[in-house]
């Protein structure tokens, strides 16, 4: 990923809930370098969610609706390990 995309993503990971900040920070440390375009787009889709819905997903209390591309579920699975 180029510097601008990374920086943009990093700012997009600044959230209103500390829980989300912490998970996303760890995710960026571990996986940002190896993200391809498809997964970056999937991550950005998740980041469009409001903070409460995002945290529900990250903590495993809710599931992402079925019927989206595989990359969304792959990113979510990775996020849940962070």
Partner 1 sequence: MANVGRNTPVRKFDAIVVGAGGAGLRAALQLSEAGVKCAVLSKVFPTRSHTVAAQGGVGASLGNMGEDNWNWHMYDTVKGSDWLGDQDAIEFMVRAAPEVVIELEHFGMPFDRNEDGTIYQRPFGGHSMNFGEKPVQRSCCAADRTGHAMLHALYQRNVRANTQFFVEWMALDLIRDPSGQVLGVTALEMETGEVMVFHARATLFATGGAGRIYSSTTNAFINTGDGLGMAARAGIPLEDMEFWQFHPTGVAGAGVLITEGVRGEGGYLLNKNGERFMERYAPNLKDLASRDVVSRAMATEIKEGRGAGKEGDCVLLKLDHLGAEVIDKRLPGIREIAKKFANVDPVKDPIPVVPTVHYQMGGIPTNYHGEVVVPKNGNANSVVPGFYAAGECGCASVHGANRLGTNSLTDLLVFGKASGNSIIRYLKENPGLKDLPKDAGDRSLSRLARLESQTNGESYAEVAKDMRRTMQKHCGVFRFPDTLADGVKKIREISDRVTRTEIKDKSKVFNTARIEALELDNLIEVARATMVSADARTESRGAHDRSDHHGRDDVNWLKHTLWYKEGDRLDYKPVNLKPLTAESIEPKVRTY
Report the interface residues with partner 1, using CB under 8 A.
3-4, 7-8, 10-11, 14-23, 25, 50-52, 59-61
User: Between residues 16 and 69, which has the closer beta carbon with respect to partner 1?
Assistant: 16
Residues 6+ apart with CB under 8 A from 3: none
* Cβ neighbours, 10 Å, residue 23: 21
CA–CA separation, 3 and 63 (whole Å): 32
CA–CA separation, 17 and 63 (whole Å): 19
Instruction: Quote the least distance from Cβ 67 to partner 1, whole Å.
Output: 25
User: Between residues 7 and 68, which has the closer beta carbon with respect to partner 1?
Assistant: 7
Instruction: Quote the least distance from Cβ 25 to partner 1, whole Å.
Output: 8
Closest CA to 32 of 60, 63, 8: 8
Instruction: Quote the least distance from Cβ 4 to partner 1, whole Å.
Output: 5
User: Between residues 70 and 77, which has the closer beta carbon with respect to partner 1?
Assistant: 77
């Amino acid at each position: 990923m180029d510097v601008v995309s990374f920086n943009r993503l990093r700012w997009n990971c600044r959230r209103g809930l500390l829980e989300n900040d912490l998970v996303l920070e760890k995710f960026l440390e571990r996986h940002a370098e190896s993200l391809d375009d498809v997964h970056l787009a999937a991550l950005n889709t998740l980041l469009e969610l409001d903070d409460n819905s995002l945290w529900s997903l990250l903590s495993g209390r809710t599931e992402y609706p079925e019927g989206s591309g595989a990359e969304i579920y792959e990113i979510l699975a990775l996020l849940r390990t962070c």
